[in-house]
Amino acid sequence: MSLFSSPFLAKPRKTHIPVTLVAEKNYDSWLAAQSAQVKALCNESGFNPKNAQTLPVRDKAGRLERVFAGVRSPVDVYDLAKSVAYLRKALSSDFLKDASFEIQADGFSQEDVTQAHIGWGLGCYKFESYKNNKSTSPSLVIAKSANKKRIQGFVESIFLTRNLVNIPANDMGPDELEKAAADLASRHKQEISVIRDKDLLRKNFPMIFEVGKASVRRPRLLDFYWGNPKHPKVTLVGKGVCFDTGGLDIKTSQYMLTMKKDMGGAAHVLGLAHLIMTLKLPVRLRVLIPAVENAIDGNAYRPSDILKSRKGMTVEVGNTDAEGRLVLADAIAYACEEKPELIVDFATLTGAARVALGYDIPALFTNREKIADEIKALSAQPEVGESVWPLPLWAPYRKDMDSSVADISSTGKGPAGATTAALFLKEFVDETIEWVHMDVYAWEQNGKAGRPQGGADTGLRAIFAWLEKRYGQ
């Protein structure tokens, strides 16, 4: 199964249909310049580009001749996903198999055209590798006026992230996650190094080992680099809990059901890394993924166990379901040892972040207030259009994790669970290093155009936009 599979065509097919972008902002002047026939069609159908509506135009013989695709100004990344959703419904799969489409966007900027293509690509995303009957997407030939590398970078990265989350845990354990990371590294001509099983103890990653030791699928730490060593060091750390049963503090069935997505942080980090490497951001990139399964067994770690961490601090296990922060703590401490300029971690860390912000908005924590402002502002720009919201690293809550028997407890007492988890991680971050922690859901709950229900990218584009602004030439 390809984790990247491109929805784009290299060559047009027999029936090749132009898709004309129609901008909301100059709709009136656009309409005035159209033929009487098109004017009538637009007026009678109530076509309104503002809502990213799609309008098929047929010739006298009744054949599809062109498509008008309304877009906002600037183009929203999901505008064309709506057109794809429309075309899937309006046209038969037999027709779609023989047809190809091409975006025509005279008068649009390259950014807008590129964004439209990305939206079309995302609109084609479906997770159907386990289905015998697969659906057909309308295929697009990338227009010459678009930035092809950028389109491919975004679409492949997001497909990769979603596929990794969607593949069920029986086929996405630590072994398979390792293979996905190794394949990605080798695609970009890098080699991965992996510390497995008992070597985690020998090399001092006790908490990664403890969390993962109950599973027959052994725990490990994945690690690869990319880029010029002279460039600023940026380390991405992703929570790779391939399935979270909760451990001995077992989850109820309702909450366990979606826990194949508990490696969503790792999936985001791999997707983001692919984007950074494809678009050659001038950074020295490092990717660290603790890959484990939080399983139940006679030898599973227990609530009240006291673990030694890589950093030396002892941790009392408050709840075995708070496993993500333990594996991340050792990985983050390790990341800090080589003093990168920036660490960004992604993790499906707490249910509390969802209570605070719902499913769609990732919670952002950082040890630099300025960064919170920058990312929040950028994420709300229409070019990015996926909000990320800062929550406080409220130091007074640190005492909620005081333990009478260890240096810290893994869980707090108060209701601000996302903050407690972030404060726990902060204990393992070197203060001199800028650090961003993204508590993400990695799941689309309801399904929208271009975001089918299931594994989802949440905050990946926002963080990339920020990195690009910070490091891009």
Asked whether position 262 contacts ligand BES by CB under 6 A, the answer is: yes
Task: Note if the bond before 74 is cis, omega within 30 degrees.
Answer: yes
Asked whether position 345 contacts ligand BES by CB under 6 A, the answer is: no
Asked whether position 244 contacts Zn ion by CB under 5 A, the answer is: yes
- Closest to ligand BES by CB, 367 or 411: 411
CA distances to 54, 276, 377, 469 from 462, rounded to whole Å, are: 27, 13, 10, 11
Catalytic residue among 251, 308, 376, 448: 251
Q: Which stretch binds ligand BES (CB under 6 A): 9-17, 131-139, 298-306, 343-351?
A: 343-351
Q: Which stretch binds ligand BES (CB under 6 A): 53-61, 334-342, 348-356, 377-385?
A: 348-356
Distance CA 367, CA 434 (A): 6
- Closest to ligand BES by CB, 87 or 418: 418
Q: Name the binder of 386 from ligand BES, Zn ion, none, CB < 5-8 A by kind.
A: none
Distance CA 110, CA 116 (A): 10
Asked whether position 324 contacts ligand BES by CB under 6 A, the answer is: yes
Neighbouring residues of 155: CB distance < 8 A, sequence distance ≥ 6: 6, 7, 8, 118, 121, 122
Task: State which of residues 76, 262, 345, 427 lies at the interface with Zn ion (CB under 5 A).
Answer: 262
Asked whether position 454 contacts ligand BES by CB under 6 A, the answer is: no
Distance CA 158, CA 171 (A): 19
Asked if residues 295 and 247 have their Cβ atoms less than 8 Å apart, the reply is yes
Nearest to 210 by CA among 312, 288, 315: 315
Asked whether position 292 contacts ligand BES by CB under 6 A, the answer is: no
Asked whether position 321 contacts ligand BES by CB under 6 A, the answer is: yes
Asked if residues 266 and 244 have their Cβ atoms less than 8 Å apart, the reply is no
Asked whether position 444 contacts ligand BES by CB under 6 A, the answer is: no
Pairing assessment for the beta strands 306-308 and 192-196 based on DSSP bridges: unpaired
Asked if residues 288 and 236 have their Cβ atoms less than 8 Å apart, the reply is yes
Number of residues lying near Zn ion (CB under 5 A):
6
Task: State which of residues 244, 293, 434, 444 lies at the interface with ligand BES (CB under 6 A).
Answer: 244
Asked whether position 419 contacts ligand BES by CB under 6 A, the answer is: no
Nearest to 153 by CA among 10, 11, 280: 280
3-state secondary structure of 235: strand
Q: Name the binder of 352 from ligand BES, Zn ion, none, CB < 5-8 A by kind.
A: ligand BES
- Closest to Zn ion by CB, 112 or 321: 321
Q: Name the binder of 137 from ligand BES, Zn ion, none, CB < 5-8 A by kind.
A: none
Catalytic residue among 239, 325, 354, 451: 325
Q: Name the binder of 260 from Zn ion, ligand BES, none, CB < 5-8 A by kind.
A: none
- Closest to Zn ion by CB, 121 or 324: 324
Asked if residues 161 and 125 have their Cβ atoms less than 8 Å apart, the reply is no
3-state secondary structure of 34: coil
Asked if residues 459 and 365 have their Cβ atoms less than 8 Å apart, the reply is no
Asked whether position 321 contacts Zn ion by CB under 5 A, the answer is: yes
Distance CA 139, CA 105 (A): 17
Asked whether position 350 contacts ligand BES by CB under 6 A, the answer is: yes
CB of 411 to ligand BES, least distance (A): 4
Q: CB nearest ligand BES: which residue?
A: 351
Cα 122 from chain centroid (whole Å): 13
Asked if residues 273 and 379 have their Cβ atoms less than 8 Å apart, the reply is no
Strand partners, 16: 100
Distance CA 41, CA 470 (A): 46
Q: Name the binder of 464 from Zn ion, ligand BES, none, CB < 5-8 A by kind.
A: none
CB of 391 to Zn ion, least distance (A): 18
Task: State which of residues 316, 323, 345, 444 lies at the interface with ligand BES (CB under 6 A).
Answer: 323
Distance CA 273, CA 282 (A): 12
Q: Name the binder of 385 from Zn ion, ligand BES, none, CB < 5-8 A by kind.
A: none
Asked whether position 176 contacts ligand BES by CB under 6 A, the answer is: no
Task: State which of residues 18, 232, 303, 351 lies at the interface with ligand BES (CB under 6 A).
Answer: 351
Number of H helices, E strands in the chain: 16, 20
- 251 tagged catalytic: yes
CB of 420 to Zn ion, least distance (A): 14
3-state secondary structure of 149: helix
Cα 126 from chain centroid (whole Å): 15
Distance CA 150, CA 305 (A): 48
- Closest to ligand BES by CB, 30 or 441: 441
Residue found by looking up tokens 């779609």 in the block: 96
Task: State which of residues 87, 211, 336, 352 lies at the interface with ligand BES (CB under 6 A).
Answer: 352
Tell me which residues touch Zn ion (CB under 5 A). Answer: 241, 244, 262, 321, 323-324
Active site residues: 251, 325
Tell me which residues touch ligand BES (CB under 6 A). Answer: 244, 262, 319, 321-324, 348-352, 354, 411, 417, 441
